[in-house]
Each structure stands twice: as structure tokens, then as C-alpha cells.
């Protein structure tokens, strides 16, 4: 067994998230107390990260189903009323020949949210199992997650713009479907989930006194 590396938590030193002042923990309790300079509550780790992240992931997963099953956009023309789901839109774009657009929508609206949910779940599970393997890769995965999360809103933007711009009543009009609400919820929830996850947990399994068996 290698000698455990020194971390802030192990040394009982915690930086203030608001002003950056390094301070020792207040007492023997888990909670380190408040920052002596700015009064911000200090914490070795984010508050209850695993449970919160799980909750958000599950909520996002629940929303993911209606987001894909319900139409995000309803196009009304003189002859027809065509509701479009996300996948339906992808298929139609592809069928119309614009496979690049289809790919973009597919990646941004289907793969990224789904990938985020799966990645976060993977991170959480490995943290809870106190796995020590591939921790650097997991750390990088988390950084990517945080970076791309907001781009999933692309679909919502498209829907919003279409609704606002395509108003040629009575010949043609576009109205938002209920799917777009759920889709927005998925994107927002996954962003929050990525934020509530504390990447330091990945490393906590290695060499923490609690981690020792």
C-alpha cells in the first residue's frame, strides 16, 4: 500500500470557496465551520453530492422519456397538422438529405443528454464503490461533461425560434409541443447534476482514512 497523499481534507485545512482564505477546521466535527474572513460556510466537499446528483439524474432520466416521445414542435399547414418529435425531426432531416443537420440535432439533442446522464451515473457508481481505477480518465470525463452540457439547449433554441418566426397564419404556423418542456428540464437537470457532483470524490477513495479497510 502506497502512502496516502496529503489532501486538504486529510490535513484538516479547507479553502474558502468565496474568498479563497485557507483555514483549519473548527473542531473535531465533520463540518469545518465558517470562513474567519468572509463568513462563508466552509466545506471539505460539496454538500451531500452523491444523493443530490442521483436525485437530479433520476429526475432528468424521467423527463428524458416524454422529451423524446412527445412532440417538440407542431407544424400546421393548410393541409395538415404535423407534430414532430426529436427523433422524428432527425429522421425527417435525414430523409430530406440534410444529413449534416440531422447529425447535429442527433448529437446535440439525443446523444449529449443521454451521454451526460450515463456518464454521471457511471461517475457516481464508481465513487460509491470507492473504485480506484481510471481515476484520471474519470476526472477528464467530468471536465468534458461540464463543458458540453449547455450545448444541448440547441433544440430548445430551434423550437423557440421556429415558434417565434414561423407565423404565417393561416397558411403555416409552428407551435411548441409539450416535449420541449421536458427536454428543457432534462438539459437543465443534467447541468445541475454535473454541478452538484463533486469531482474530488473521485480521489477520496484513495488514501483517505475512511477509505482504508
Partner 1 sequence: MTDNTEIPNIPQAESVPEKRTTISVVWIIPILAAAVGIGIAVQQYLSEGPSIRIAFRSAEGVEAGKTSIKYKEIEIGKVTGVTLSKDYSRILVTAKMGKNTEGLLVNDASFWIVKPRVTLSGVSGISTLLSGNYIRFEPGTSKETGRDFVGLEVPPPATSGLPGREFVLRSDTLGSLGVGSPVYYRRLNVGQVISYALAKDGRSVDIRIFLNAPFDRFVTSNTQFWEASGIDLSVGAGGVSMRTESLLSLLVGGIAFETPASPAGNSAVADNAVFPLSRDQATALSPREADAERFALYFRGSLRGLSVGAPVDFLGLPIGEVTGVFLAYARGEESIRTRVEIVTYPFRLFEPRGKRDAIGGRRAPIRERRESIQRQVVGKGLRAQLRSASLISGQLYVAFDYFPDAPEAKIAWERKPPDFPVVPGEMASIPSMLRNLLAKLDKVPVEEIGNDARKAIATLDRALVRLEGETLPEARKTFAMLDRTLEHVDGEIVPEAKKALEELRRAIASTERVLADTDNTFLRPEAPGQQDLRDAMREIARAARAVRALADYLERNPSALIRGKTREKP
The distance of closest approach from Cβ of residue 117 to partner 1 in the complex, given in angstroms and rounded to an integer, is 12
What single DSSP character describes residue 88?
A: H
Q: Which residue has the cell 502506497?
A: 2
Interacting residues toward partner 1 by CB under 8 A: 28-31, 48, 51-52, 55-56, 58-60, 62-63, 65-66, 70, 78-83, 178, 182, 185, 189, 196
Give the residue with the Cβ less far from partner 1, 133 or 213. 213
Nearer to partner 1, 82 or 104 (CB): 82
Q: Which is nearer to partner 1, 52 or 135 (CB)?
A: 52
* 62 contact partners, CB below 8 Å, separation of at least 6: none
Q: Smallest distance from the beta carbon of 77 to partner 1, in angstroms?
A: 9
Query: Cβ of residue 134: shortest distance to partner 1, in angstroms?
Result: 28
Rounded CA gap, 137 and 131, in Å?
Answer: 13
Distance of CA 211 to the CA centre of its chain: 27
Alpha helices in 19-174 (DSSP H): 49-69, 86-95, 99-105, 112-128, 135-148, 154-165
Shortest Cβ 153–partner 1 spacing (Å): 18
Amino acid at each position: 500500500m502506497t502512502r496516502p497523499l496529503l489532501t486538504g481534507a486529510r490535513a484538516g485545512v479547507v479553502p474558502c470557496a468565496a474568498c479563497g482564505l485557507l483555514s483549519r477546521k473548527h473542531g473535531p466535527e465533520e463540518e469545518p465551520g465558517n470562513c474567519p474572513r468572509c463568513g462563508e460556510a466552509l466545506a471539505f466537499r460539496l454538500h451531500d453530492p452523491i444523493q443530490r446528483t442521483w436525485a437530479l439524474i433520476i429526475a432528468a432520466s424521467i423527463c428524458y422519456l416524454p422529451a423524446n416521445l412527445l412532440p417538440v414542435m407542431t407544424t400546421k399547414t393548410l393541409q395538415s397538422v404535423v407534430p414532430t418529435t426529436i427523433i422524428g425531426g432527425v429522421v425527417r432531416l435525414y430523409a430530406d438529405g440534410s444529413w449534416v443537420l440531422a447529425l447535429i440535432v442527433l448529437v446535440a439533442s439525443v446523444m449529449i443528454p443521454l451521454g451526460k446522464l450515463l456518464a454521471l451515473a457511471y461517475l457516481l457508481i464508481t465513487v460509491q464503490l470507492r473504485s480506484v481505477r481510471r481515476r484520471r480518465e474519470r476526472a477528464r470525463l467530468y471536465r468534458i461533461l461540464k463543458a458540453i452540457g449547455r450545448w444541448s439547449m440547441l433544440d430548445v433554441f430551434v423550437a423557440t425560434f421556429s415558434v417565434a418566426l414561423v407565423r404565417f397564419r393561416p397558411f403555416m404556423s409552428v407551435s411548441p409541443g409539450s416535449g420541449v418542456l421536458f427536454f428543457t428540464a432534462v438539459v437543465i437537470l443534467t447541468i445541475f447534476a454535473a454541478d452538484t457532483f463533486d469531482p474530488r470524490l473521485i480521489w477520496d477513495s484513495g488514501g483517505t482514512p475512511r477509505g482504508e479497510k
